[in-house]
Amino acid sequence: MGLDQYASIRLEQSADDGNGTEELAYWRKHPSLQGFMEALYFAKGGEGEFNCVDVELTLEDIDALETAVNGATLPETQGFFFGDDSSEHYKEDDLEFCANARKALADGKTVVYSSWW
């Protein structure tokens, strides 16, 4: 068990395949990213436990994430299944995700973040 985190492009629904996603990024036990996304979820009106729910990301959200990653200001976050702070370990992956998310958004796609713990 542990914290599994996903960023995906939400695909359009079709009669054949339903509503699916295309993976943009995957993280395992990156609690600081979880804290960032959880704060974003609640700022956007999310309610209840932030587990197994999507938060839709905008260009402004991606800009804020990139600023936090580059400034080493992702929030220190703890949880029973989250593991230790891994911000420095994931820095390059986080920045690569930001670049890929920007491209997807520029192409008119919807980007979402989800986690399971």
Residue 75 counted as domain residue: yes
* Residue 36 covered by a domain: yes
Q: What is the pLDDT of residues 34-72, one digit of tens each?
A: 999 999 999 999 999 999 999 999 999 999 999 999 999
- Is 62 a member of any domain? yes
Residue 14 falls inside a structural domain: no
Q: What are the CA-CA distances from residue 6 to residues 12, 14, 30, 54, 97 (Å)? A: 18, 22, 11, 10, 10
Domain membership flag for residue 60: yes
The pLDDT assigned to 106 comes to: 97
Structural domain count of the chain: 1
State pTM to two decimals: 0.85
Does residue 48 belong to any structural domain of this protein? yes
> 16, 30, 17: which is closest to 7 by C-alpha?
30
Res 20: pLDDT: 81
* Domain span including residue 67: 29-116
Residue 20 inside a domain? The answer is: no
